[in-house]
Structure 1
Amino acid sequence: MFRRSGTAVPLATTLVAAAAALALTASTAAAATAPGFLAGTELPPHASSPWYAGTVTKGLPESAPFCLEGVLPAAGSWHRVFGTEYDTGAVQVSVRSASPAAAAKLAGTLERKVAACAADWLRTTPGGTASWQDYGTLPVEEGAHVYGVHTSVPDSEPGVHLYGIGRDGDTVTVVQWGEMGDLSHAPVAAFKKTTTKAVNKLNP
């Protein structure tokens, strides 16, 4: 009597498993590869100092960027810290998410956190003053958004921070720039160019 061979089913199963393994390997390789990062020369120029760029390092920075404490995931993250000879500094954190949808969700979370930062800071800082500004979106890849936050406490120098948050596919980046001063001193136009470059360099 004719019997159907059982070879076809195991072969199909093997092919499916191999394809799944290949996809997982490709995904893992992408996650293990650092996104492109800014160079120091691509940050807003400082009047009296060059920018010094640290190495691109896997994981989150030792101290979370102001306003973004507790919201940046360690998994899939890379960072680079920048400094000058003065109080001006910057940090870029990029995250490779599991999917474009997950990346879009993370970018939205970061934007909401920065937009609420001034109010959140005031609730925990009696006597302080704070303000923020939405500097609008940028037409780069899947989009970017720039914000400014100013904080001050009595008998201390005020601080100003700029944030550029953007996405390219499954990768999100946030650039934070800061120094002493207020929003009127912030190099917004130059920082928008920095943010655009940061997003464009994520997946060269």
Structure 2
Amino acid sequence: MFKRTRAGTLAALAVVGLTAGAALSAAPAGAATKASAPKFLAASELPPHPSSSWTAARVTGGVPEEMQYCFGDSLLAYDSRYRTFRTDLDTGAQQLNITVRDSAKAKALAARLDKDVKRCVARMDADPDIKAAYKSYGSLPVEEGARVHGFATRASWGAMDIHLVSVGRDGGTVTVVQWGQMGGFADAPVKAFKKTTTTAVNKLH
């Protein structure tokens, strides 16, 4: 997942990069397919930034390049859309919604994505130029459940980044929310991110 962006994450070494911007355009009135599509977070529902406001990009089909490194193989067979958020400083976020429709398959996909986060951190830590540490922040009692992960990275050239990633499910839809900025575990807004995750899952349908 996860190459370095202007937010200070890692380029070729693929540590969560979360940026881009603009506003989501309104769906056509009365469009049934749009009404049934899983809904996305608004910029105001991201963890508050102490000195900058969030902006939200337009919803785009597919899987963002930033998620390919960790999740690409798991998402090949699914219909997915994503939205990217940014601040004017060093913090970014993304939400990816995956439409599976079958609840049992969605449950299996969510479990696989949770494992993918841990495997991805282990793969990064195996790189001689990167040190990566993982923390589990537990599960959330929302719809069919969500789980929150965190990981911090330090590059040999001194760059430090902290990331929060959650995987949640409502019926046959899975959502992945990720947040990142420069810093360490002490800089992670875990409580606010859990609130964002709960909102994301509740808004899906």
Instruction: Please give the range of the TM-score, normalised by the shorter of the 2 chains.
Output: 0.7 to 0.9
Number of the residue aligned with 1:38: 41
State how far apart, in whole Å, the 2-side matches of 1:73 and 1:174 are. Answer: 15
Return 93-102 or 133-142, whichever deviates more: 93-102
Q: CA deviation at 1:89?
A: 0.3
Number of the residue aligned with 1:82: 85
* Residues 87 and 72 (structure 1), Cα distance of their counterparts in 2 relative to 1, 3 Å cut: farther
- Corresponding letter in the other structure for 1:169: G
> What are the within-5 Å matches in structure 2 for residues 167-178 of structure 1?
167-178=169-180
TM-score (norm 1): 0.79
Please identify the structure whose Cα radius of gyration is greater: 1
1:141 corresponds to which of 143, 159, 180: 143
Runs of 4+ residues deviating >4 angstroms: 29-33
Q: CA deviation at 1:33?
A: 4.3
Q: CA deviation at 1:115?
A: 2.0
- Consecutive unaligned residues of structure 2, counting only runs of 5 or more, are 1-31
Q: Percent identity over the alignment? A: 49
Q: CA deviation at 1:32?
A: 9.4
State how far apart, in whole Å, the 2-side matches of 1:179 and 1:69 are. Answer: 22
> What are the within-5 Å matches in structure 2 for residues 31-70 of structure 1?
33-64=36-67, 67-70=70-73
TM-score (norm 2): 0.79
State how far apart, in whole Å, the 2-side matches of 1:70 and 1:186 are. Answer: 28
Q: CA deviation at 1:66?
A: 6.0
State how far apart, in whole Å, the 2-side matches of 1:60 and 1:32 are. Answer: 21
What do the CA deviations read for 1:89-146 (whole angstroms, capped 9, x no partner)?
Answer: 00000101040011001100100011222211112x1042110100000000000000
Richer in helix (by share): 1
Contact 1:31–1:76 (Cα < 8 Å) also in 2:
no
Higher relative contact order (CA 8 A, sep 6+): 2
* Residues 108 and 135 (structure 1), Cα distance of their counterparts in 2 relative to 1, 3 Å cut: same
1:189 corresponds to which of 185, 188, 191: 191
SS at 1:68 equivalent:
helix
- Consecutive unaligned residues of structure 1, counting only runs of 5 or more, are 1-28
State how far apart, in whole Å, the 2-side matches of 1:74 and 1:39 are. Answer: 27
State how far apart, in whole Å, the 2-side matches of 1:44 and 1:152 are. Answer: 23
Number of the residue aligned with 1:129: 131
> Considering only aligned residues, what root-mean-square deviation do their CA atoms show, in Å?
1.9
